Amino acid sequence: MRLFPLICFLILLFSCQQGKEQKKINNQTSAEDSLLTLVQRQTFQYFWEGAEPNSGLARERIHIDGNYPENDQNVITTGGSGFGLMSILVGMHNDFITKEEGYDRLLRSLSFLDSVPRFQGAWAHWYHGDTGKTKPFSRKDDGGDLVETAFLAQALICVREYYKDGSPEEKQLALLADTLWKGINWNFYRNGKDTLFWHWSPTYGWELNHPIQGFDECMITYILAASSPTHPIPDSTYHKGWARNGSIKTDIKKYGIPTLVKHNAKPGEVGPLFWSHYSFLGLNPLGLRDRYADYEEVVKNHTKIHLAYADENPKNYKGYGSNKGWGWTASYSVNGYNAHHPDNDPAGVISPTAAISSIPYTPKESINFIQYLMDNLKDKVWGKYGFYDAYSENEAWYPQRYLAIDQGPMVVMIQNYKDGFIWNLFMQAPEIKAGLQKLGFKSPHL
């Protein structure tokens, strides 16, 4: 009987210890959620307060330090606006804005998209937000840009799914989003072949001659093209075009980590991290696989390779490490613009979007990166619309500039990490389910 009080004491002690541990976990979780929400809320403002005023869509760039390219301040970007539309949905989901404010902005933006010149249903890369006129991205790139269009269409489907069961006014907005998405003539962009082509111009036709092949940021283009209920491509176009008749599969490793798919880079190299972000803002890679790869493993391994490079730090750049600064993607650079990756890192430039938008794949390391910036670099890298586009501790280079295509994925992917909000909207769309099944994909969402 003497053992009974001792047992009771030990049970009480164990319970208290468990309570302390749970409280510690809860406090840590709460602190992390507050940190992530802060980053989301501030970055969201790029697409809210910083939007081009006439269209309500995303400016290509915002330079807090001024010094814009000529006639560029009101240029909107199609792909970045797609990321922005998803960010508006996230803003309502988190009560950053009211439902009424979000509806009004989305109605204005989709009405603008319905009014501008399109090219077989596809949008151009850039438009002047004040006039709606196309702005050529380059001399021969003055027409349809199918990849930018895909980034936008991914968002239109999410908008439709968000509003389809709403009030009569909300259902009308859902119908507008649906009409815009279904108006894209994906099949035209095959140019009579069994692959998709990136550009078509009413002036220059197919002269740019840029077939879209994997693996890079363009996978969503084929998924949407196969899923279209109005202008679909056959499944053979995915397998012959994107998957290169199966040669997209590879046994290439970097730092001993399998890439699984052949990156559109030089042999043995891996690409920038936006290749594992842009297509997967709506398309959920977790548990997604086809005959070529498990895409959860593809995107997680891609991110792990960047982390391994940060730890190796072969050029001894200041501020590198998996528990410090890491993540390389296309962004501003010390000399202009550069698609940074572990094999293309000439000046020690880190782009915050690379690590932060990878948070569903590497949550611990992504949160550690945010904390590193907040604790060590502070307002050198943090401003009106969240983290600036890029920085280099090595070069003491801290430009106060933003790009839409880098800000948007952070807002969306943080939310996908939290609760899968945008992933769930996109993956529930019936034509996406049918399109993925048509291409032979497996997913928990199918």
In whole angstroms, give the CA distance from residue 172 to residue 170.
Answer: 5
Is pLDDT above 70 for 16?
no
Is pLDDT above 80 for 338?
yes
In whole angstroms, give the CA distance from residue 428 to residue 21.
Answer: 38
pLDDT at res. 17: 64
pLDDT at res. 3: 60
Instruction: Please state the φ and ψ torsions of residue 55, each to the nearest 5 degrees.
Output: -90, -25
Residue with tokens 């606006």: 81
Stretch 415-437: mean pLDDT = 98
DSSP SS3 for 341:
strand
348-387 pLDDT, tens per residue?
999 999 999 999 999 999 999 999 999 999 999 999 999 9
Stretch 156-161: mean pLDDT = 99
Give the number of other Cβ atoms within 10 Å of residue 214's Cβ.
23
Is pLDDT above 90 for 27?
no
Are the CB atoms for 290 and 439 separated by under 8 Å? yes
Share of the chain above pLDDT 90, in %: 91
Terminal CA-to-CA distance of the chain, rounded, Å?
A: 59
In whole angstroms, give the CA distance from residue 190 to residue 185.
Answer: 10
In whole angstroms, give the CA distance from residue 398 to residue 420.
Answer: 33
Share of the chain above pLDDT 70, in %: 93
Of 142, 138, 101, give the one whose Cα is nearest residue 118: 142
Stretch 93-101: mean pLDDT = 98
Whether omega before 274 lies within 30 degrees of 0, making that bond cis, reads no
- Beta-carbon contacts of 373 under 8 Å, excluding residues fewer than 6 positions away, are 325, 352, 381, 382, 387
405-418 pLDDT, tens per residue?
999 999 999 999 99
- Beta-carbon contacts of 16 under 8 Å, excluding residues fewer than 6 positions away, are none
258-275 pLDDT, tens per residue?
999 999 999 989 999 999
Write out the two tokens for 254.
């970097």
Averaged pLDDT of the chain: 95
The four Cα atoms 427, 433, 435, 436 give a dihedral, to 10 degrees, of 80
Are the CB atoms for 86 and 34 separated by under 8 Å? no
Stretch 394-413: mean pLDDT = 98
Name which of 56-70, 129-143, 221-235 the model is least confident about. 56-70
Stretch 399-403: mean pLDDT = 97
Is pLDDT above 90 for 194?
yes
CA-based torsion, 440, 441, 442, 445: positive or negative: negative
51-83 pLDDT, tens per residue?
999 999 999 999 998 877 766 889 999 999 999
pLDDT at res. 4: 62
In whole angstroms, give the CA distance from residue 329 to residue 332.
Answer: 10
Q: Could you give the angle at the alpha carbon of 218 between the alpha carbons of 70 and 402, nearest 5°?
A: 35
| Confidence band, pLDDT 50/70/90 cuts, at residue 19 | low
| Confidence band, pLDDT 50/70/90 cuts, at residue 21 | low
Instruction: Please state the φ and ψ torsions of residue 402, each to the nearest 5 degrees.
Output: -130, 150
pLDDT at res. 28: 64
| Confidence band, pLDDT 50/70/90 cuts, at residue 324 | very high
CA 54 to chain centre: 25
Instruction: Please state the φ and ψ torsions of residue 421, each to the nearest 5 degrees.
Output: -55, -55
Strand boundaries in 129-278, DSSP class E: 134-135, 144-145, 199-200, 253-254, 257-258
What is the length of the chain? 446
Stretch 280-306: mean pLDDT = 98
209-220 pLDDT, tens per residue?
999 999 999 999
Strand boundaries in 27-107, DSSP class E: 61-63, 75-77
pLDDT at res. 117: 98
CA-only gyration radius of the chain, Å: 23
| Confidence band, pLDDT 50/70/90 cuts, at residue 6 | low
In whole angstroms, give the CA distance from residue 299 to residue 358.
Answer: 9
| Confidence band, pLDDT 50/70/90 cuts, at residue 23 | low
